[in-house]
Amino acid sequence: MKLKAIKIRIKPTPEQEKQLWKSVGTARWAYNWALDKQIKNYKEGNKFISDNILRKEITQLKKTEEFSWLSEVSNNICKQAIKDLCSAYKRFFKGHSKQPKFKSRKKSKPSFYNDNGKLKTKNKLVLIEKVGWIKTSEQIPMNVKYKNPRISYDNKYWYLSVAIDRENIELELTDEVLGIDVGISELAICSDGQRFKNINKTSKVKRLEKHKHKLQRQVSRKYQINKEGNRFVKTSNIIKLEKKIKLIQRKLNNIRQNHIFQTANTIVKTKPCVIALEDLNITGMMKNKHLSKAIQNQKLYELKRVIQYKCEWLGIKFISVDRFFPSSKTCSECGQINKKLKLSDRLYECECSLEMDRDLNAAINLKQYVINI
């Protein structure tokens, strides 16, 4: 059995929405409180504080008059926020992620945890602890075990995300090995000739980006006009414009994410026995100031993540090829390496008379790399 995540829109009443925002604020406060504790403890030269100790401490805080407001939301919200912070610190110590930062009210994603044992469902209804029964846009699977339920807000709607057990699917796979080269000019090029466009070059996305930049310039001008000394004053018009910008950014994110899933689905539906994808150094690539924005909008890491978990579901072997393998500079016919190949050279030309699109050549090399292992 494997886990499958589902995300369903919930429709709270105005009173329920207030309680949801209160839960979001409490989760953010608990995360920042635990982070502050860990930072102070580290400066004093003490050992890492376990999440059990911090969770017991916050239980005692609830009994005081100053922090009695913590009891207005579910007890599990604070405990899970502390556990998330400690898990983030452990990943940082192992070198898997960057050091945790304080969550900002403006920039952090509004979300909180709900106890999976107290999550109940009815016909298009879900019970959120200390919020009540909330309507859902579609039926949540019933009579199953829920794992890691999270409630989040995307600047327009509230959503419930939860993981459930999913039965393994056995497919009759072909003997084909598929190499995939990802890039900026096109999202992905497969060794079998499939090409997937860069969604950011479409007229719809360009129009939305242009509108967003126009609104951002308006907000910047209004901030300068309403500046009082060293303080920026946020007027009602600024708030309205910032809300419009968030909605446009939400639409852009949804378009890009949808394109990633459609691309991944099309690739795995060819049913290859092996899929090979290059392990790109996305962090290093983002340091290029000329290409960082384009790389960020392409969501290359997200594409790899989606393809990888879909391969696990369907029994397809996924291989992440070493990032130092010269897939683009190697000739797929004779194996000669062209060290002088530049990023601007879109056509690969070799002394053996091979002329081929450099991305397709790279995809074929990734395929051959797996075959020769």
pLDDT at 38: 92
d(CA 128, CA 268): 36
Supply the DSSP string of 84-100, one letter for each residue.
HHHHHHHHHHTTSSPPP
**320 by DSSP, 3-state: which?**
strand
User: How many CA atoms lie within 13 Å of 277's alpha carbon, on the beta-carbon side?
Assistant: 25
Report yes or no: 189 and 363 within 8 Å, Cβ to Cβ.
yes
Q: CA torsion 222→223→226→227, rounded to 10°? A: -150
Residue with tokens 């890039």: 183
Q: Are 317 and 275 in contact (CB under 8 A)?
A: yes
- DSSP letter string, 17-57: HHHHHHHHHHHHHHHHHHHHHHHHHHHTTPPPPPHHHHHHH
Task: Give CA separation, 275 vs 140, 191, 218, 270, 330, in Å.
Answer: 33, 10, 47, 11, 19
Structure tokens at 11: 């429709």
CA dist 174 to 177, 315, 372, Å? 9, 12, 18
- Amino acid, single-letter form, for residue 272: P
Residue pair 303/187 in contact (Cβ under 8 Å)? The answer is yes
Nearest alpha carbon to residue 273 among 231, 305, 232, 317: 317
How high is the pLDDT of residue 349? 79
Residues in the chain: 373
Per-position pLDDT tens, the chain of length 373: 678 889 999 999 999 999 999 999 999 999 999 999 999 998 888 888 999 999 999 999 988 989 989 999 999 999 999 999 999 999 998 888 889 999 998 889 999 999 988 899 988 999 999 999 999 999 998 888 899 999 999 989 999 999 988 776 777 888 889 999 998 889 999 988 899 999 999 999 999 999 999 999 999 999 999 888 888 888 999 999 999 999 999 999 999 999 999 999 999 999 999 999 988 888 888 888 888 898 899 999 999 999 998 998 888 999 998 888 888 888 887 878 887 778 777 788 787 877 888 888 889 889 988 888 7
pLDDT (0 to 100) of residue 160: 95
Q: Residue 112 pairs with which residues in a beta bridge?
A: 151
- Domain coordinates in residue numbering, the chain: 2-166, 177-196+254-321
In the numeric block, which tokens belong to residue 141?
A: 């699977």
* 2 neighbors 313 (Cβ within 8 angstroms): yes
pTM, 2 dp: 0.86
Number of other CB atoms surrounding residue 364 within 10 Å: 23
